[in-house]
Chains A and B, each alone.
Chain A
Amino acid sequence: MLIRETPSWALPEREATPEPLYLNRRAVVAGLVAAGALPAAAGTDPGRLARIPARRTRDAGEPPTPLADVAGYNNFYEFGLDKSDPARNAGTLRPSPWTVRIGGLVRKPLTLDVDRYIAKAPFEERIYRFRCVEGWSMVIPWVGVPFASLVRAVEPLGSAKYVAFRTLADPVQMPGLRSPVLDWPYREGLRLDEAMHDLTLLTVGVYGRRLPNQNGAPIRLVVPWKYGFKSVKSVVAIDFVETQPQTSWNMATPREYGFYSNVNPEVDHPRWSQARERRIGEFRRRETLMFNGYPEVASLYAGMDLRRFF
């Protein structure tokens, strides 16, 4: 007998609300938010977003980067190329309601209703270092759950070796899609064991509240030992696959951005050194740490030539 245990935050077909109804509900909620009666589920002003209760389980040992910078200095090319563009332009993103389709080589594919998930799942606050491939870095208190918990819920088949992630690509919500800078939609991927590592965080919040739109609302990945572009934002689809998936920056410039893209001070970007980084708020650069200071992931790459698999 097949017993199908559906997690409480999975969206059953029968509950999919007809669009006119939820659009109407959204108008009512938006009215309450505007009147200040409800904290916002979405927006670019981080101070107005709804809080998410979370228990701190990991500290970075140094003070977090101010929220103004975390939510004001972003690479999110779907909203423009300048780092101040996303905070200015991402107001058009509608991260609530939002669903993520999780499928591919899994026993129990599911559609995740993010609002429901945020209401139910037990979240952790983890303060991680965040290192951009461009040479700057931040320290960020994320709110999320280990991605492994989601992997276990869908039960990947033995043939699943990689996980492919896809960001929303809606030209109505994302003015930056007009730019040919990348082949949209934005795609990222991890090896299954990387995705299952306890550090890999399925993230719904920052600084104790829901993610601001410019930070990848409503749900994103955070992979702290890899360059920031691997931490894919505003995810709409997750697929378990057999072969290494295509990833956007690797497709754009394969010589410069590898599939792995682990933070590695010894492997330079062809155009600049990765040996040092500038922490936002500091003038002088500091040394970049191997795996961004997360040596516990080294065993994932035992025996691999990290210059070749950069």
Chain B
Amino acid sequence: MRVLLKPSAHAVMAIPLALLLFGWAELLFWNPASRALSAEPVAYTHNALGLAALRALVASLAVTPVRLLTGWGRVMTLRRLLGLWAFAYAAMHLLFYLLAELDWSLGALLAETAKRPFILAGMVAGIALLPLAATSTGAAIRRLGAKRWQALHRLAYLAGIAACVHFILRVKGFQWEPWLYLGLLLALFALRLAPRAGLRLRPS
């Protein structure tokens, strides 16, 4: 059981990517009539990568609350892994946007970011994840010192909120789905703050 925790987490995190790759391979190589990626595979891929990033980010932010609630210490070994998957999906989401919508034009990306609040929110989320991915090694923690490293990694909260705002602003009309993610994130934050407020989350 012990050894399987991390590989299982990797496997779960890789599922959306594997499904997308399989869907594109099917479409391009042996079944052009496939609708596995909907009638609009480009939009489907773009949305699926964004959703996978948000889910991985929420999962990584859930690690500490899960430990606080259950006392299961080993879950902490998943925090970096989940955070890096969130970054990887966010990066793929952005690169796919550049490829499919902006013809690799960074100028167009800047223009869209300046013009559209929902793109700005997405860029804030993505940029907030960048230094976290860059300082995800043990060596980086030693170099920064645990305190400063931890302060820096609070950017993950900002990324989560910004990603939810990006999602809320993106959908047409009022839809529950993005608000559910935001609610989940806020609940996770509240669980973290509970011990500081002197609340006990589990009997000791």
Task: Report which A residues bind B (CB closer than 8 A).
Answer: 66, 68-69, 72-73, 77, 81, 83-84, 134, 136, 179-182, 249, 252-253, 270-272, 278, 280-281, 283, 285
- Enumerate the 8 nearest inter-chain pairs by beta-carbon distance, A residue then B residue, closest first: A73-B39, A69-B39, A181-B173, A252-B173, A280-B39, A181-B174, A136-B40, A180-B174
Number of interface residues of B (CB under 8 A): 19
- Chain B residues lying within 8 Å of A134, measured Cβ to Cβ, are 172
Contacts of A249 in B (CB 8 A): 173
Minimal beta-carbon separation of B116 from chain A (angstroms):
6
Q: Given the complex of chains A and B, what is the CA–CA distance between A280 and B33 in angstroms? A: 12
Residues of B155-190 whose CB lies within 8 A of A: 169-170, 172-176
- Docked Cα-Cα span, A179 to B43, in Å, equals 23
Which secondary structure characterizes the binding site on chain B? loop
Q: Identify 22 residue pairs between A and B in the complex whose beta-carbon atoms are under 8 Å apart, listed by A's number.
A: A66-B33, A68-B35, A69-B39, A72-B35, A72-B39, A73-B40, A81-B175, A83-B38, A84-B38, A134-B172, A136-B40, A181-B173, A182-B173, A252-B174, A271-B118, A271-B169, A272-B116, A278-B40, A278-B42, A278-B43, A280-B40, A283-B42
Give min CB distance, B115 to chain A, whole Å.
8
B173 near A271: Cβ-Cβ < 8 Å: no
Residue B100 CB within 8 A of the other chain: yes
- Distance of A268 from chain B, by nearest CB (Å): 8
Tell whether, in the assembled complex, residue A253 and residue B169 are in contact, meaning their CB atoms are under 8 Å apart: no
Task: List chain A residues, Cβ under 8 A from B33.
Answer: 66, 68
Q: Which residues of A contact B40 (CB under 8 A)?
A: 73, 83, 136, 278, 280
Do B42 and A253 touch across chains, with their CB atoms under 8 A apart? Answer: no
Q: How far is the CB of B83 from chain A (nearest CB, A)?
A: 29
Separation of A66 and B169 alpha carbons in the complex (Å) = 32
| B89-139 contacts to A (CB < 8 Å) | 100-101, 116-118
A271-B116, A271-B169 given as contacts; is B175 within 8 A of A181 (CB)? yes
CB distance from A150 to the nearest CB of B (A): 30
> Are B38 and A73 in touch, CB under 8 angstroms?
yes
Number of A-B contacts (CB under 8 A): 48
What CA separation (Å) do A252 and B172 show in the bound complex? 9
Least Cβ distance of B184 to chain A in Å? 19
CB of B42 to closest CB in A, whole Å: 6
Contacts of A136 in B (CB 8 A): 40, 43
Provide the bound-state CA to CA distance between A98 and B175, in Å. Answer: 31
List chain B residues, Cβ under 8 A from A280.
Answer: 39-40
Q: How far is the CA of A134 from the CA of B172 in the complex (A)?
A: 9
What are the residues of chain A within 8 A of B118 when measuring CB–CB? 271
Which of B39, B42, B101, B175 has a CB less than 8 Å from the CB of A83?
B39
Q: Is the CB of A283 within 8 A of B38?
A: no
Given A271-B118, A285-B101: A253 touches B35 (CB 8 Å cut-off): no
Q: Nearest Cβ in chain B — how far from A251, in angstroms?
A: 10
- Cα distance, A73 to B39, chains bound together (Å): 6
B51 to chain A, nearest CB (A): 12
A180→B33 CA distance, assembly (Å): 35
CA distance A13 to B35 in the complex (A): 47
**Residue pair A253, B173 in contact (C-beta under 8 Å):** yes
Given A73-B40, A181-B173, residue A283 in contact with residue B100 (CB < 8 A): yes
Docked complex: B24-65 residues within 8 A CB-CB of A: 33, 35, 38-40, 42-43
Complex Cα distance A81/B170, Å?
A: 14
CA distance in complex: A300, B170 (Å): 32
Residue of A nearest to B117 (CB): A271
Neighbouring B residues of A72 by C-beta, 8 Å: 35, 39
**Complexed CA–CA distance, A252 and B117 (Å):** 19
User: What are the residues of chain A within 8 A of B35 when measuring CB–CB?
Assistant: 68-69, 72
A281 to B34, CA, bound (A): 11
Q: Give the Cβ gap from A215 to chain B, nearest Cβ, in Å.
A: 14
A19 to B75 alpha-carbon distance, docked (Å): 63
A270 to B173: give the CA distance in the assembly, Å: 13
A271 touches B170 (CB 8 A): yes
In addition to A72-B35, A134-B172, A283-B100, 14 A-B residue pairs with Cβ atoms within 8 Å of each other are A69-B35, A73-B39, A73-B40, A81-B175, A83-B38, A181-B172, A181-B173, A181-B174, A181-B175, A182-B173, A249-B173, A271-B169, A278-B43, A285-B101
**Residue from the set B33, B101, B117 with the largest chain A CB neighbour count within 10 Å:** B101
